[in-house]
Amino acid sequence: MSPGLSDLHDRARALLDPVHYDYFAGGAADEVVLGENERAFGRLALLPRILRGTPVRDLAVALPGARASMPVVVAPTAFHRLAHPDGELATARATAAAGTVLVSSMASTVAVGAVVAAARSVDPAAAVWFQLYLQPDPEVTRCLVRRAEDAGCTALVVTADSPVFGRRERDVRNGFDDLPEGFAAENMRDLPGGPPGGTRDIEMSAALSWEDLDRVRASTALPVLLKGVLHPEDARLAVDRGLDGVVVSNHGGRQFDAVPAALDALPRVAAAVDGAIPVLLDGGVRRGSDVALALALGATAVGVGRPVLWGLAADGEQGVRQVLDLLRDEFDHALALCGGRDLADLTRDLVVTRGTPW
């Protein structure tokens, strides 16, 4: 982690209620995967090319329903008002100012309409995607999709790595199983079957299938990305079923502590997709050089989760800006040092394993 990020993390930790800090920071079970996501980047090295760069590099990338100024988007994370009173509004403004995509969590503490409005107040062309957990009641899912569409979201990101909720032992120890008084998952308010004026719980269901995903795709004109893909066969199925992108992710090590690091799962997923649709990756991205490694291994862009929360908790909108500016600056520097002009110059032949002569 760069000193800039690590300072923000330390400030965030000092400011946050320790129970909320643990919720943000923690992972499932022994938190092996949480650490592995970061360590995986350290096991690889980049082999720069020389004498082929340019003084001004092009970092922009085309994504479904968005053109981002850099290949770094904000991964969906829940409950931003626990980090800062401005919550998702601050995150949305900072992300729009950075010219990139906010994936707004279904479990946001500000309703998606207000999140998109905050982003568009900074940049009328700002892209916000809506992250969705398919709900067992299809009518509830339909309402959520409608809310995202009405808000002006430009894509849906369906998270499919949570048939059951991960066992986060910090949260169990801390007794953190509900939001404090005055906070709510605002997108879940006034839904069918829920209490009038109140919010429904987000349900995880192991009964959901590809057919449920097909129904969502058929119900909307928005591009649909699938988040939580680790097996290459699932990536192939996503292409076959007409999805618009996949996100290689183990949910930041918060779901299953026996899976590989996200980065280690990337090459086979990228090979299975074979350029048919964009492949995003999240988990453990902490440096601009991490972004470069992921792109060289086949990612179109990466998502960052916790670093954004540390920026938000430390300094609200300004803190999130700092995180995104830092990653942009570091990534641009890494691209220059690789002899790159644009993202297409980050190719697989630049990646080698540390500790093994190649």
Ligand X SMILES: CC(C)CC(=O)C(=O)O
Ligand Y SMILES: Cc1cc2nc3c(=O)[nH]c(=O)nc-3n(C[C@H](O)[C@H](O)[C@H](O)COP(=O)(O)O)c2cc1C
Smallest separation, CB 305 to ligand X (Å):
9
Q: Tell me: is residue 249 an annotated ligand-binding position.
A: yes
β pairing state of 128-132 and 279-282? unpaired
Phi, psi of 313 (to 5 degrees): -70, -35
Q: How far is the CB of 234 from ligand X (least distance, A)?
A: 19
Q: Helix (H, G, I), strand (E, B), or coil: what is residue 247?
A: strand
- Please pick, from the candidates 63, 98, 143, 202, the single residue that binds ligand X as defined by CB under 6 A: 202
Contact with ligand X (CB under 6 A) among 120, 200, 227, 254: 254
Task: Kindly tell me which of 11 and 49 has the beta carbon lying closer to ligand Y.
Answer: 11
Indicate which of ligand X, ligand Y, none lies near residue 227 (CB less than 5 to 8 Å, by partner kind): ligand Y
Residue 95: name its binding partner from ligand Y, ligand X, none (Cβ under 5 to 8 Å by kind): none
Looking at 34, 63, 101, 107, which residue binds ligand X (CB under 6 A)?
107
202 binds, among ligand Y, ligand X, none (CB under 5 to 8 A by kind): ligand X
**Block residue for tokens 């803190």:** 319
The minimum distance between CB 237 and ligand Y, in angstroms, equals 19
Contact predicate 132/158, CB 8 Å: yes
| Contact flags string 316-345 toward ligand X, x per CB under 6 A | ------------------------------
187 binds, among ligand Y, ligand X, none (CB under 5 to 8 A by kind): none
Tell me the DSSP string of 18-86: HHHHHHHH--STT-HHHHHHHHHHHTEEE----S---SS-B--EEETTEEESSSEEE---S-GGGT-TT
Q: How many degrees, rounded to 5, is the angle at CA 280 between CA 230 and CA 235?
A: 40
What b/e readout covers 215-224, taking b as 16+ CB neighbours within 10 angstroms? ebbeebebbb
Looking at the Cβ atoms of 118 and 304, the one nearer to ligand Y is: 304
Cβ 349 to ligand Y, closest distance in Å?
Answer: 27
Q: Residue 57 or residue 66: which is nearer to ligand Y going by CB?
A: 66
Rounded to whole angstroms, the Cα distance separating 237 from 239 reads 5
Query: Is residue 242 annotated as involved in ligand binding?
Result: no
Q: Is 80 a catalytic residue?
A: no
Q: Which residues contact 66 (CB under 8 A, 6 or more apart)?
A: 101, 127, 129, 154, 155
Task: Read off φ and ψ for residue 46, nearest 5 degrees.
Answer: -105, 135
Can you give the binding site for ligand X, defined by CB under 6 A? 78, 107, 202, 251, 254
Active site residues: 251
